[in-house]
Structure 1
Amino acid sequence: MKNTVLTVGCCSIIIPPNSPHKPSISAKLPQSKPSSSKPLLSTVRWDLPLHRNQKSLRYYAQLDSKLAEDAKLDDFLLIAETVLNSGVKVSDFANLINVDLVSKGLIRMLRSGDVERVVQVLSGAQKLGLSVAELFDRNVVEALRKECSLVAERGNVEAVVDLLEVLSGFQLSVKEIVDPARIIKICVAQRKPNVAIRCARNFPTAHILFCSIILEFGKKGDIMCAMDVFEASKQDMDRPNMYIYRTIIDVCGLCGDYLRSRSIYEELLTQKITPNLYVFNSLMNVNACDLNYTMHVYKHMQSVGVAADVTSYNILLKSCCRAARVDLAQDIYREVQSLESTGVLKLDVFTYSTIIKAFADSKMWQMALEIKEDMLTAGVTPNTITWSSLINACSSAGLVEQSILLFEEMLLAGCTPNTQCCNTVLHACIEAHQYDRAFRLFNNWKISATDKFYGKDYQRKIDRGRHNARKSYTMTGQDYGSDSDHVHFTKMVPFKPTTATYNILMKACGTDYKRAEALMNEMKTCGLSPNQISWSILIDIFGGSRNVKGAMQILDSMRRAGILPDVIAYTAVMKVCIQNQNQKFAFSLFEEMKRYHIQPNLVTYNTLLRARTRYGSLEEVQQCLAIYQDMRRAGFNSNDYYLKQLIEEWCEGILQGNSQNLPHTSSSRTDLEGSQSLLLEKVAANLQKTGPKSLAVDLRGLSKVEARIVVLAVLRMIKENYTPGTLLKDDMSIILGVQEVGSSDANHDNVKDAIIKLLRDDLGLEVISGATGSINSNSDTDNINTITVGYPTGLESPRRPAVLQRLKVTKKSLNKWLQKRLGASRK
């Protein structure tokens, strides 16, 4: 049999048949020019086995390295496999391979973008027993890092993570190849929690990376992905990691899912694991909106022997502040003071600021100032938040002078106020109607702010600013005042106005819409964009000057500026229209709101319902009742008495000219009791009826006064819809309610008597009473058919039969009454 010859590049591998030995290798040397020096391989003994011939082994190692350098990696693996199968030790062959040449070949392939092929070669080398980490140098690592970075930039994080998993299997340090934080951010942006989890598992700091992934998803508001990562992290941990538990609880707070944080906490308790202080603090902080639960967690923390720190008490104070429990906040504060006196705790600025805010929100400014003194006595320096809370406390109480004194004290203490603090001072001046003072402070603060850019001309700019301010106030007929109340502010306030600042000042313009427009233009010059509140304030100012046209133009300007008017802006324009007796346009704006799917608020509804002092037509009544019903469906409750009065006056108008109307009108206003909702709903339901059923009136559940109003409303609707020469074809059916045969109901009888008296005596209509069935509107007969309310067959009635009580007003008398009313109105 013939030998098998395998040719690879410039060498041939000869495999004898049925040879008990490993395959031997012979070289087919390339032809070279004659040289005086003796060839290196001339002394190689090719008849010896390869593992015993070091020169031959070195030759093939050099040859294999050269093939790798030329990126012939398949040939590289084939020769390596053959050499190692011949009995050569892996370490002997690996030590002879030129790592520099192999690295060059790998880099060439990586630069061509063929990462997958590189991975296949490295996998093949590992199968042969070669150490992958020893096959390349740092240049290959750098090339891998760059290639992974490019793949990540293209958004293909799955490919990067696949490569990381393979490289980790080669026992390589992947932290030098990939920045895990960058990959995690891409995974979070693409909402791929599973890929992020796989990425984290390739690093020794996986537990820290899990926290980072959970937190990043929390910042995006994606609680479900965060929970997926949390569950995966638990599978990789031998015992619960408190750092991860704390992070997922914090994320529950970021996503507003505080109930889920409680479930996680209960899960720890079920496993009989005691959370550490940081988990307890995070749980209390997330649930600070629920004081009862926060206190429950605090007491449990004490019961299991976990000592509270300053952060714990700060959270408790914050929870008390949110629940407006100043008394409990005071108790906690005293407890903390006691702990501080014994050296257990050291109160920080956040503790004092929180308790001050609790008093400030409750308008207990004296107590807030006392806490400030405690704070200074303890050597704790107030920060901007502390001073802002103190100023806000005095501002809310209307103490303008005290607010400004605190502001000056803040500046003298070297604390830099923020814009919100300055806005609070301006707001205090506006609420106290000290408009001039607010503008003086504002103008001088602006001068102070520009001084940091133009320090050399400081005094000149102050003088010029004051001159311009005096000039502007003189032109508006206002007194500029002295400089004594703002000298300190001018020198020390690094003020940068915001949109809220200009909104506050616009409120001080009163009806001077030109000045308000100038402020809005200045706002735009400063690079600020007016918001919906700005436009609404401007609309109110135009309305105060009775400039309806200007207010409507502001609404159009708002749309052109790219800001969709909100409910506040629409309501402001409605108020302007109603104040200037333009109800029609106000109601058209309401319809426009509905078309744009802008939900009206309670102020909107009340503005429209109180738009009229009286009703003159059926259309106006129907319009307001439709708005009333829409308000009720939206879930708003309001005082219906005003609307009821207007409806009552409109209904009683049908009796004008009758001598009997005055007593009934006065009594109806005094006898009406309880909620008006049912009455108005009944009136609305009857006035919205059209067609042949419009003459059926349901009075069930109403008192006699309410029933009177409903009947009068229907009669007025009939009167206003009446066309001369047209006769009614239907009788008017009035449903009184269900009553047992032979029984007596005082309220039912009162309603019946009141309605009969109204129809017969006051209006002269013909009324037929009795227990009736359905009245045939096309019949002229006055026959009354009784309807018995029955019970299921086979069951004995628990009481006497009941009948539906009705009144019927004949169409003949209705037509006569309408013609008479028409004749009277013409006279």
Structure 2
Amino acid sequence: MRDLVIVFGSSAITNPHHHHLRCYATAPEPNRKTKSNSSLTKIFPSLPQQHSASPAPVSAAPSLSSHFSNVVRWIPDGSVEYYADFASKLAEDGRIEDVALIAETLAAESGANVARFASMVDSDLLSKGISLNLRQGKIESVVYTLKRLEKVGIAPLDLVDESSLRLMRKLFRAMANSVQVEKAIDLMEILAGFGFKIKDLVDPFDVVKICVDVCNPQLAIRYACLLPHTEILLCRIIHGFGKKGDMVSVMTTYEACKQILDTPNMYIYRTMIDVCGLCGDYVKSRYIYEDLLKEKIKPNIYVMNSLMNVNSQDLGYTLEVYKNMQKLDVTADMTSYNILLKTCCLAGRVDLAQDIYKEAKRMESSGLLKLDAFTYCTIIKVFADAKMWKWALKVKDDMKYVGVTPNTHTWSSLISACANAGLVEQANHLFEEMLASGCEPNSQCFNILLHACVEACQYDRAFRLFQSWKGSTVKEALHADDIVSKGGNPIPNKLKNHGPGSLVNSNTSPFIQASNKFFFKPTTATYNILLKACGTDYYRGKKLIDEMKSLGLEPNQITWSTLIDMCGNSGDVEGAVRILRTMHLAGTRPDVVAYTTAIKICAENKSLKLAFSLFEEMRRYQIKPNWVTYNTLLKARSKYGSLLEVRQCLAIYQDMRKSGYKPNDHFLKELIEEWCEGVIQENSQRQDKISDQVGDEKVVGRPVSLLIEKVATHLQERTAGNFAIDLQGLTKVEARLVVLAVLRMIKEDYMRGDVVIDDVLIILGTSEAKSDSGNPEIAVKEVLVKLLKDELSLVVLPAGQRAIKKDVHYVDDENQYPEHTSANTRRPAILERLIVTKASLYQWLQRKK
């Protein structure tokens, strides 16, 4: 094989110094034709292109020749002008990575010529090559090539024209909306170093949202630092994670803010406090405020207002913050007073709300404040909740005096104030006044009026209003209702839809004409209110359910619970349970109210087995019972008939106490006493209270729950017929009760086929606990012996005594030792025990059979 010398014509190379370059190529195949062309890519069609995402390293001198080794072996003795022209031709064909490689190789060989090379490369052709790559979607290749060119002195900003910038925006937006958001931020960090305006490439809020969605606060912070208004984006990041409830990411961003920003930013502090309220972590909001004070930073009014608003559930702390505002010389604004009124409303402090309202009015008269509709609406709501309707109407007069027009929420609060006080007529009058003022009512106003009628047991009136509003004008409904309320008969055609002008004549007032445009749009809450007005009429309630479904409204948990209660009022237990099952099938998960309502219906109709099965079902669905649920089940029985029933109620009692609810211990104790007395009653003895049989006994400060827990322990934790009754710490009455409970359990187990296989051991306690402090002459032991021997004819023997080694049972015995013996000498306490023999128990069970 021999070498072939290729000589370029003058048309191929425009560089005047082209004769300094010699190329040696491998001889072609015999059938291969070699053709010269003005384009270098046609001369070297197999010249490789780089597609690597990462920038190529700056190589040594031989790198360029090795890059082209597949086609040509270079002898780099050409001029800078030639290299610039060659690079321009490559750029024109879109091979910008090769341009960067030539520049890097030239910089490695002769750094002095790089500046000349950068100035001589055709920037228009290079821009054209960049645009070509961007049209092919090679954004990553373009960015890393720009980085390489920037190192050799070629300014990237000069190479990206407007069309290329538009292509960049399109590609970056596509990356930001996919899983490539991290790669997009990496590239934007590089472009930011070149001076590109990053905010023009993609919507910053979109990038932040995606970073929040992927739970990557570090990535979001990196992007925020690329933009001029970093603090705004940081607040957006904090708020985004706060809406997700991700306090870990919130705190990560907050700590980064303190490192990034040179000066404290009140907007970030306010956002942090608001997010703490959003996540329900009001304690952390207080820590942020305390940190500000420790660093001698004076918070502004917006930070203070946010802090009071987040802690509005705590009246004391909110008032303390308000006092600190005055100490820090931070002037309260209208928002401050609105938050204080809201706090008083939540706390039910009408007196304090009145004082704050008077203070706000005083400042308004001084020209320092201007009370808004929200202020008046809040103070009206305070009076409405307290049923102080006269005060609420007085506030309405104050609004008119200062020229503030009541809005829909204000009118709703006024109507609610009268409705809560049971003043249906007054609420109706306010509704008419609202329409006369030109204020359009919402569904809440209608629902408040309906609720007022239902609470006042004016069920027919509620349905008349509903039917009239649903198909007629508001004024028609009010007028028709007034006719009936005055004792007249309702006019049928007036209660139907006759169009906007059915009741309007030449004498109609402008207010009535204006009201014709308002039509009632029922909500789910509307139908829930009307369901309560159905009483025991299940079919009417079912018709309402069907009607609301036809309007596209779905029944909620309140709807189903009300329907269940409706069945219960009519005594239909099966219907109530059927509705509960239908609730499951309809896709609505029953809550504790629905189950409790059904359980209450079963208990009231003596379907106790079904009630307890519903309780177990709600536990399987992990629905936590409330106090009403537990109390309903515990009071379901007036007496216990079997051991199973006692165990059921004791289990519910213990579960209730573990859940933090306080049960009625005395009620349960009386039932257990009655059940235990069954052992005595079957022996033909009269039924008396146990406490009467053993004498009056009052133990001050002793909770009844200790006795019930003791009974529960012995009735639920027995082991294979072996009984050991621990009576330590119990009084005479309690000890007798526990023993009778165990005997009743033995008797019922025997009737089911269980055999007594051992004696019953009764542990009385240490010897010093023989007598009871309430009646020292009658020991617990004597009471039990009398019960077992005399009343039940059982054989009771003292068990073998043994010394108790534990220190807690050691007692002093000064009479045991001579006087010269130390008084601190102690001996082991003796644990007294009784045994009820197995044989006597068997005979007793035979007699009871």
Which of 397, 406, 419 is matched with 2:443 structurally? 419
Match of 2:748 in 1: 720
How far apart are 1:671 and its partner, in Å?
Answer: 6.1
Against the structure 1 CA distance between its residues 373 and 740, is the aligned structure 2 distance closer, same or farther, given a 3 Å change threshold? same
2:622 to 594, 597, 607: 597
**Does 2:219 match 1:203?**
no
The CA deviation string for residues 37-83 of structure 1, in whole angstroms up to 9 with x for no partner, is xxxxxxxxxxxxxxxxxxx9999877654432210224444666799
Could you tell me which of 818, 823, 827 is aligned with 2:845?
818
Residues 398 and 671 of structure 1: is their aligned pair in 2 closer, same or farther, counting only changes over 3 Å?
Answer: farther
Residue 151 of structure 1 deviates from its aligned partner by 1.4
CA–CA distance in 2 between the matches of 1:136 and 1:746? Answer: 100
Q: 1:513: Cα distance to partner? A: 0.6
Q: Is the counterpart of residue 733 in structure 1 residue 757 in structure 2?
A: no
Other-structure match for 2:356: 332
Pair 1:809–1:75, CA change in 2 (3 A): closer
Is this contact kept in 2: 1:245–1:279, CA < 8 A?
yes
CA offset at residue 504 of structure 1? 1.3
Shift of 1:731: 3.0
1:764 pairs with 776, 779, 793, which one?
Answer: 793
**Mapping for residues 69-88 of structure 1, pairs under 5 Å:** 69-77=92-100
Tell me: CA distance 1:14–1:557, structure 2 relative to 1, closer, same or farther (3 Å).
same
Partner in structure 2 of residue 273 of structure 1: 297
C-alpha contact (below 8 Å) 2:805/2:828 kept by paired residues: yes
Matched, 1:430 2:454: yes
1:163 and 2:187 are equivalent in the alignment: yes
Q: C-alpha distance in 2, partners of 1:303/1:5? A: 91
Which of 585, 591, 594 is the equivalent residue of 1:569?
594
Contact 1:698 1:735 in 2 (8 A): yes
Within-5 A mapping of 1:457-606: 466-467=495-496, 491=516, 493-606=518-631
Distance in 2 separating the partners of 1:716 and 1:382: 71
Task: Measure, in 1, the Cα distance between the counterparts of 2:456 and 2:698.
Answer: 42
For the 8 Å contact 2:725–2:739, the answer to whether it is kept is yes
User: What amino acid sits opposite 1:817 in the alignment?
Assistant: W
Instruction: Give, as a single letter, the amino acid of the residue that structure 2 aligns with 1:173.
Output: K
SS of residue in 1 equivalent to 2:766: strand
**Corresponding residue of 2:135:** 111
Q: 1:675 to 1:128 in 2, by over 3 A?
A: same
Counterparts of 2:384 and 2:752, CA distance in 1: 70
Per-residue deviation at 1:121?
Answer: 2.4
Corresponding residue number in structure 2 for 1:752: 781
Q: 1:683 aligns with which of 702, 705, 711?
A: 711
What is the deviation of 1:194? Answer: 1.3
Q: CA deviation at 1:563?
A: 2.1
Letter in 2 for 1:811: K
Q: Is contact 1:11-1:26 (8 Å) kept? A: no
Give the SS at the match of 1:722.
helix
| Counterparts of 1:508 and 1:148, CA distance in 2 | 60
**What is residue 455 of structure 1 aligned with on the other side?**
none
d(CA) in 2 for partners of 1:487, 1:704: 80
Deviation at 1:552, TM superposition (A): 2.2
The answer as to whether partners of 2:408 and 2:440 remain within 8 angstroms in 1 is yes
Moved more, 372-381 or 271-280: 372-381
Q: What is the match of residue 232 of structure 1?
A: 256
Deviations 1:726-781 (A, max 9, x none): 97443333323323399874557453343333333332333346xxxxx4xxxxxx
Q: Tell me how many residue pairs correspond in the alignment.
A: 751
Kindly provide the amino acid, as one letter, of the partner of residue 70 in structure 1: D
Shift of 1:187: 0.9
CA drift of 1:625 comes to: 1.7
Question: Shift of the alpha carbon at 1:190?
Answer: 1.1
Change (3 A) 1:247 1:426: same
1:523–1:725 distance in 2 versus 1, CA, 3 Å:
closer
Cα deviation for residue 723 of structure 1 reads: 4.7
Q: Which stretch of the first structure deviates more once superposed, 663-672 or 297-306?
A: 663-672
Partner of 1:604, secondary structure, is helix
2:663 is aligned to 638
Q: Note if contact 1:219-1:254 (Cα within 8 Å) is conserved in structure 2.
A: yes
Q: Deviations 1:359-414 (Å, cap 9, x if unpaired)?
A: 22233333222222222222222222222222223222222222222222222222
Return the offset for 1:496: 2.1
The answer to whether the Cα contact below 8 Å between 1:445 and 1:489 also exists between their aligned partners in 2 is no
Q: What SS does structure 2 have at the residue aligned with 1:807? A: strand
Q: Secondary structure at the match of 2:830?
A: strand
Aligned pair 1:389/2:413, yes or no? yes
Report if the CA contact (8 A) 2:677-2:687 is conserved.
no
Assess if the C-alpha contact under 8 Å between 2:344 and 2:350 holds in 1. yes
Q: Which residue of 1 aligns with 2:371?
A: 347
Alpha-carbon distance in structure 2 between the residues aligned to 1:276 and 1:77: 54
- For normalisation by structure 2, the TM-score amounts to 0.80
Change (3 A) 1:611 1:103: same
Are residues 1:785 and 2:801 paired? Answer: yes
Specify every segment of 5 or more residues in structure 2 that has no aligned partner in the other structure, as ranges.
Answer: 25-34, 39-78, 476-490, 499-510, 813-821
- Change in Cα spacing, 1:155 to 1:308, as seen in structure 2 (3 Å) is same
- The amino acid across from 1:530 in the alignment is P
Aligned residues of 2:794 and 2:844 also touching (Cα < 8 A): yes
What corresponds to 2:307 in structure 1?
283
C-alpha separation in 2, matches of 1:284 and 1:717: 60
Is residue 831 of structure 2 the alignment partner of residue 804 of structure 1? yes
Structure 2: distance between partners of 1:700 and 1:762: 23
What is the letter of the counterpart of residue 353 of structure 1? C
Letter in 2 for 1:324: G
Q: Does the 8 Å CA contact 2:103/2:114 hold for their aligned counterparts?
A: no
Q: Aligned AA for 1:808?
A: I
Question: Contact 1:10–1:27 at 8 Å: present in 2 too?
Answer: no
Preserved contact between residue 766 and residue 832 of structure 2 (Cα < 8 Å): yes
CA distance in 2, matches of 1:751, 1:742: 6
Cα shift readout 1:669-717 (whole Å, capped 9, x = no counterpart): 9867764312222222222243466432223333333333222222222
Confirm or deny: 8 A CA contact 1:696 1:734 kept in the other structure.
yes
* Counterpart residue identity of residue 427, structure 2: S
Tell whether 2:166 aligns with 1:142.
yes
Counting aligned pairs with the same residue, the percent is 53
Matched, 1:68 2:96: no
- Residue 51 of structure 2 is matched in structure 1 by none
User: How far apart, in 2, do the equivalents of 1:817 and 1:490 lie?
Assistant: 86
2:724 and 2:763 in contact (8 A); partners too? yes
Q: Name the counterpart of 1:43.
A: none
CA distance in 2 between counterparts of 1:762 and 1:678 reads: 26
- Name the SS of the counterpart of 2:269 in structure 1: helix
Report the equivalent of 1:825: none
Q: Which sections of structure 1, spanning at least 5 residues, go unmatched?
A: 17-22, 33-55, 452-461, 470-485, 770-774, 776-783, 823-827
Matched, 1:610 2:626: no
Secondary structure at 1:736's aligned position in 2?
A: strand
Which string of whole-angstrom CA distances, capped at 9 and with x for unpartnered residues, describes residues 183-220 of structure 1? 11111111111111111111111122212222222222
